[in-house]
Structure 1
Amino acid sequence: MLLDLPQRKLQRLKNYDYSQNGAYFVTICTQKQLQLFGKIENKILVLNNAGRMVLDKFAQIPEFYPNISVDKFVVMPNHLHAILMIQRIRTAQGPFPTMQLSDYIHRFKVLTTKLYIEGVRKDSYPPFDKKVWQKSYHDHIIRNEVEYRKIWEYIAINPLKWELDKYYSE
């Protein structure tokens, strides 16, 4: 007997090469939108130890992957918004191997989950339910300068508009 399970919606743009040069707006959410990374008090973002770890590891992405830069990002209590720029690098031997956007996100989630579990064991981070991060992530290919500026501004003011954010919860 076949079960009539819901079909998972494709998250990525069909037939698009997510390793090509470009700017990408990314949102990564915690599982069940738990506020694991801090809080917002009087419109001021206050990251806890876990939030600072996530912030540090996200900022370090270009150190490990020279073909990606982080233009703007913010760690919120239960999600992260970022603009990532992928730039293929050519060397004397040819093009530097470039991973897909999803590979960078996956590696970030694996590393931060490992560090988060260590922090929970040391009673430094709040406990979580089975997974730190939601299964997938949201992305948007930034197509022009106008979009880039709007998204950059959105990320910059996100803590100020926390109550209006679709990821907001008390």
Structure 2
Amino acid sequence: MDSSRFAHRSHALRRGRVSAPGRIYLLTAVTYRRYPLFRDWQAARLLIGEMRALHERVQVRSLAWVVMPDHLHWLVELGDMPLQRLMQQAKSRSAIAINRSGAHRDKLWQKGFHDHALRREEDLLNVARYVVANPLRAGLVERLGDYPLWDAIWL
């Protein structure tokens, strides 16, 4: 594969990303080399604390989320903070907190993140169910209630 062509394409995707306040996005971030860091309860709780801090500062409205062993799915309504900055802050602050705690001592997140802006015809509740059902589909638990690292506003 021509790496220069790939680099150009990935740059174009970043440049074309739309960040609209009030719009709902499904965000996904993956740990570096898919290391299952969030099997560690302390590390997972530190990430969740940083997500909640962004929510409490009204940078984002968290609708549903799940922390999987090696990635995060976060359904949000975007506030005034641009999408790129929101994810940079969530990843940076969680990495700092986790590394300071001693739960991890290496690069924590892969570069970038995936975002999907929901369209009007998409059913928000079904997307939220998809997010929180990840542990079931991954075979981590038999009942969603047995997995502690998720939340949704519809509870």
| TM-score by shorter chain over 0.5 | yes
Matched, 1:60 2:59: no
Equivalent residue for 2:35?
Answer: 34
User: 1: distance between equivalents of 2:124 and 2:14?
Assistant: 19
Matched positions, count:
136
User: Are the counterparts in 1 of residues 26 and 74 from structure 2 also a CA contact under 8 Å?
Assistant: yes
Matched, 1:106 2:88: yes
User: Between Structure 1 and Structure 2, which shows a larger proportion of helix residues?
Assistant: 2
User: 2: distance between equivalents of 1:144 and 1:108?
Assistant: 26
Change (3 A) 1:57 1:132: same
User: 2: distance between equivalents of 1:4 and 1:127?
Assistant: 31
Q: Report the TM-score when normalising by structure 1.
A: 0.70
Q: 5+ residue gaps in structure 2?
A: 141-155
Q: Which residue of the other structure, out of 64, 69, 80, is the alignment partner of 1:77? A: 69
Change (3 A) 1:136 1:59: same
1:127-166 deviations in Å (ceiling 9; x for gaps): 44xx2001000000011263422211111211111159xx
Percent of aligned pairs with the same residue? 24
Letter in 2 for 1:72: A
Q: Report the TM-score when normalising by structure 2.
A: 0.76
Which secondary structure does the structure 2 equivalent of 1:71 belong to?
Answer: strand
1:33-68 deviations in Å (ceiling 9; x for gaps): 100011xxxxxxxx511011112221221212x252
Matched, 1:144 2:120: yes
Q: 5+ residue gaps in structure 1?
A: 39-46, 88-97, 165-170
Which secondary structure does the structure 2 equivalent of 1:26 belong to?
Answer: strand
Which secondary structure does the structure 2 equivalent of 1:108 belong to?
Answer: helix
User: 2: distance between equivalents of 1:163 and 1:127?
Assistant: 28
User: Are the counterparts in 2 of residues 19 and 99 from structure 1 also a CA contact under 8 Å?
Assistant: no
CA RMSD of aligned residues (A): 2.4
1:11-50 deviations in Å (ceiling 9; x for gaps): 4582x64033200000011011100011xxxxxxxx5110
